């Protein structure tokens, strides 16, 4: 009886740990787009030409181990990119943020899901490299931009079904 209960518990534990691996969404394509209307201030305009590619590369790096020709297409439409300075952040006039919408489709163009992702200045602080003195880096700095890109990519991949 005890042996049966232990075997059942062990089997359940193995299946529970294996389930996320078995259920991972395979990906065939990642496409990120951003139109000019997504740029919300002058500082963000400096990243206009590279933001979509930077985000696409960050997402691809995170799904590189689960690609398949018949996998899902991940399409991201960036709705807003804003980079605030210290004054704007301190007085809550503006916040650095990256917002977008994610659409998942399979090879047969069946809708698999969609969701919104948003990363802002406070999120970026948590994603800065260890040892970074955030008090010395302006919120419109490239390091914050990179942290927001990485946080957004992490959120996109974490929410894949």
pLDDT tens track for 89-105: 555 555 678 999 999 99
- This prediction has a pTM of 0.78
Average pLDDT, integer, range 125-148:
77
Q: How confident is the model at residue 85 (pLDDT cuts 50, 70, 90)?
A: low
- In the beta sheet, which residues pair with residue 27? 67, 72
To the nearest whole number, what is the mean pLDDT of the chain? 81
Measuring CA to CA, how many Å separate 74 from each of 26, 63, 104?
Answer: 10, 11, 5
pLDDT of amino acid 4: 38
Alpha-helix residue ranges (DSSP H) falling in 66-141: 86-90, 121-126
pLDDT of amino acid 48: 83
- The candidate with the shortest Cα–Cα distance to 135, out of 99, 93, 89, 92, is 89
Average pLDDT, integer, range 118-135:
79
The Cα–Cα gap between 95 and 46 comes to 16
């Amino acid at each position: 009886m005890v042996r049966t209960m232990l075997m059942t518990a062990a089997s359940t534990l193995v299946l529970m740990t294996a389930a996320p691996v078995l259920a991972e969404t395979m990906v065939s394509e990642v496409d990120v787009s951003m139109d000019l209307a997504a740029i919300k201030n002058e500082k963000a305009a400096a990243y206009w030409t590279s933001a979509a590619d930077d985000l696409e590369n960050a997402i691809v790096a995170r799904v590189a181990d689960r690609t398949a020709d018949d996998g899902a297409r991940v399409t991201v439409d960036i709705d807003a990119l804003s980079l605030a300075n210290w004054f704007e952040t301190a007085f809550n006039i503006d916040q650095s943020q990256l917002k977008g919408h994610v659409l998942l489709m399979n090879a047969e163009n069946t809708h698999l899901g969609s969701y919104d992702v948003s990363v802002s200045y406070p999120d970026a602080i948590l994603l800065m490299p260890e040892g970074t003195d955030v008090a010395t880096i302006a919120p419109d700095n490239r390091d914050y931009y990179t942290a927001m890109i990485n946080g957004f990519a992490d959120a996109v991949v974490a929410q894949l079904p």
